[in-house]
Amino acid sequence: MATIISGKQVSEEIRDQLKAKIQSEKVDPLLTIVQVGNREDSNVYIRMKIKFAEGCGVKTDHLRLDRTIKEDELIKVIDSLNKSSNVHGIIVQLPFDSEHPIDTNKICNLVSPLKDVDGLSDLNAGKLLHGQVDGQSCFLPCTPNGCLQLIRKTGRKIEGARAVVLGRSKIVGSPMAQLLIWNHATVTILHSKSQNIPDICREADILVVAIGRAGYVKKDWVKPGAVVIDCGINAIPDATKKSGQRLVGDVEANVAEVAAFMTPVPGGVGPLTVAMLISNTVDSAIRFKNQS
Amino acid sequence: MATIISGKQVSEEIRDQLKAKIQSEKVDPLLTIVQVGNREDSNVYIRMKIKFAEGCGVKTDHLRLDRTIKEDELIKVIDSLNKSSNVHGIIVQLPFDSEHPIDTNKICNLVSPLKDVDGLSDLNAGKLLHGQVDGQSCFLPCTPNGCLQLIRKTGRKIEGARAVVLGRSKIVGSPMAQLLIWNHATVTILHSKSQNIPDICREADILVVAIGRAGYVKKDWVKPGAVVIDCGINAIPDATKKSGQRLVGDVEANVAEVAAFMTPVPGGVGPLTVAMLISNTVDSAIRFKNQS
């Protein structure tokens, strides 16, 4: 049976390291979270971010904007945060819950590259494609960087390993592939138009799944002894739960019978995403201090 | 035996299409080529670019800067070209032949995204990673886009095909992989730290080689019936030539015995790189006209 990698435990270790770093570097990091509207899932994610931040001494400012806000007003908010000297990180919680059309891509690209702690802007992505993955030249996107930390925790060598990334999204799959390539793995990217997906998954020493479909990856798709990282978080009906549903990943639970290491859902990649966001914010505050 | 895809012929077809496009769109495209110093290989490449441009009615301005120029002076030159309303494309011929240190990465990223017809800036690369490969949102990098045109010429379906890109450079390998991914191929990226390179090459329906080593890919590495695109251009000693050398690709010539389609060196990818550069310049001039 696979060793289950506890994202919760790893994220707590990171929280303690960040706490120590903030004290030794004498910084006072501030993350501003911009929310438009009031989606319940967004509220849950934001609470998790604020809780982790508080746990290590990072201040947060949760800016709740009414769902009636227009794009040009939102742009002004972002501009003002970009200019504010005490803000070290800015994230725009997606998706927007807005009455008026707002161009998500445009807004994400307006966040200053110096404060883009989610690492989702085009400029940041280009630096990744160009191999600037040292964490100094740009912000490593949070979910992929969290996956990388979990892979490292297994002690398995990434250099020269065959890695398969299932999914090519802007937030997870595409940047994940870049992080693995520049950590010297041999990477194959699979997506909705790929053929023979099970066969190709079976080639992977490291399999990262981010396709957003409950239980998509089956036990016989996984090479015995592989590292399996599950980025999925899907709600499925469950009559035994009070809420009537439960959360599962993109990987079937019995994959644990063949994998050497596997992340659980929930409690795997999720906590690391939050930890990496706050880690980026701390690094940003340190960079601002050193440049001032 | 493989059908040899003549890059020369395809580039002549493109030249004629561009000529017609310039006339029908009534634009007067201008490409500025910035050269520092006087490297002979740069001179050869620049002459090829100017010749192709003249052949279809694109004006060029070859700015030869002395090798004594300093970085801050070069920055001023780029700034001024960015602002000049009659310049539609700017390329910085690399590598620099300069007495003083010049940060290549910094200079490439100073070219306005609206005029970056080489498509080598970080911002441009990020748009590729984010799947903006329609040629409208950003400039497709010239060599990878040239390879894509040659692959399309074979009539083989890219969607769902297994593609292997050998090399992860900023100029060829990395953007090539993105173009193939977003044209829906299943892509594996190989590089100097990869293991079992021959076995993985043999999985490819489409094999793009950009590793810069003469005759690196052998006949038994290639799946019978594959499309092989050779981006290499390496000078090797040849006593039978007046110059004492000849140019060869990264792929051994006898790969043509197993591949279905193969590009020659020279006369394969090279002419397409030039054609895509001029095509980007024409598209830029049209965009500037439509926005003015």
A49 is catalytic: yes
Q: Where are the domains of chain B?
A: 26-112, 141-270
Is A191–B184 a contact, with Cβ atoms under 8 angstroms apart?
yes
Identify from A140, A170, A186 which residue to disrupt to test chain B contact, counting B C-beta atoms within 10 A and taking the largest count. Answer: A186
Both tokens of residue B177?
């992989």
Q: Residue B27 and residue B18: Cα distance in Å, rounded?
A: 11
- Three-state helix/strand/coil letters over A11-49: HHHHHHHHHHHHHHHCCCCEEEEEEECCCHHHHHHHHHH
A241 is catalytic: no
Distance (Å) from the C-alpha of residue A241 to the closest C-alpha of chain B? 38
CA B265 to chain centre: 14
**Residue of chain B whose Cα is closest to the Cα of A194:** B160
Q: Residue B209 and residue A169: Cα distance in Å, rounded?
A: 26
Q: Residue B216 and residue B210: Cα distance in Å, rounded?
A: 10
Q: Which residues of B touch A201 (CB under 8 A)?
A: none
| pLDDT string in tens for chain A (292-residue length) | 999 999 999 999 999 999 999 999 999 999 999 999 999 999 999 999 999 999 999 999 999 999 999 999 999 999 999 999 999 999 999 999 999 999 999 999 999 999 999 999 999 999 999 999 998 999 999 999 999 999 999 999 999 999 999 999 999 999 999 999 999 999 999 999 999 999 999 999 999 999 999 999 999 999 999 999 999 999 999 999 999 999 999 999 999 999 999 999 999 999 999 999 999 999 999 999 999 8
- Which residue among B125, B162, B182 sits closest to A126, beta carbon to beta carbon? B125
Is B168–A131 a contact, with Cβ atoms under 8 angstroms apart?
yes
Q: Which fold has domain B26-112?
A: Rossmann fold (3.40.50)
**Whether residue B204 has pLDDT greater than 90:** yes
Model confidence pLDDT, tens digit, residues B109-164: 999 999 999 999 999 999 999 999 998 999 999 999 999 999 999 999 999 999 99
A118 is catalytic: yes
Both tokens of residue A3?
């060793």
Report percent pLDDT > 90 for chain A.
99
Q: Which residues of A touch B175 (CB under 8 A)?
A: 129
Identify from B105, B181, B199, B203 which residue to disrupt to test chain A contact, counting A C-beta atoms within 10 A and taking the largest count. Answer: B181
CATH class held by domain A27-113: alpha beta
Distance (Å) from the C-alpha of residue A193 to the closest C-alpha of chain B? 6
Model confidence pLDDT, tens digit, residues A118-152: 999 999 999 999 999 998 999 999 999 999 999 99
Distance (Å) from the C-alpha of residue A44 to the closest C-alpha of chain B? 27
Number of helical (H) and strand (E) elements in chain B, helices listed first:
9, 11
Q: What per-residue confidence (pLDDT) applies to B292?
A: 83
Q: Which of A118, A230, A250, A283 is catalytic?
A: A118
Say what the ipTM of the complex is.
Answer: 0.96
Q: What per-residue confidence (pLDDT) applies to A55?
A: 97
Do B141-270 and B26-112 fall under one CATH topology? yes
Q: Residue A284 and residue A191: Cα distance in Å, rounded?
A: 33
Give domain B141-270's CATH number out of 3.40.50.1980, 3.40.640.10, 3.40.50.300, 3.40.50.720.
3.40.50.720
The neighbouring-strand residues paired with B189 are A187, B165
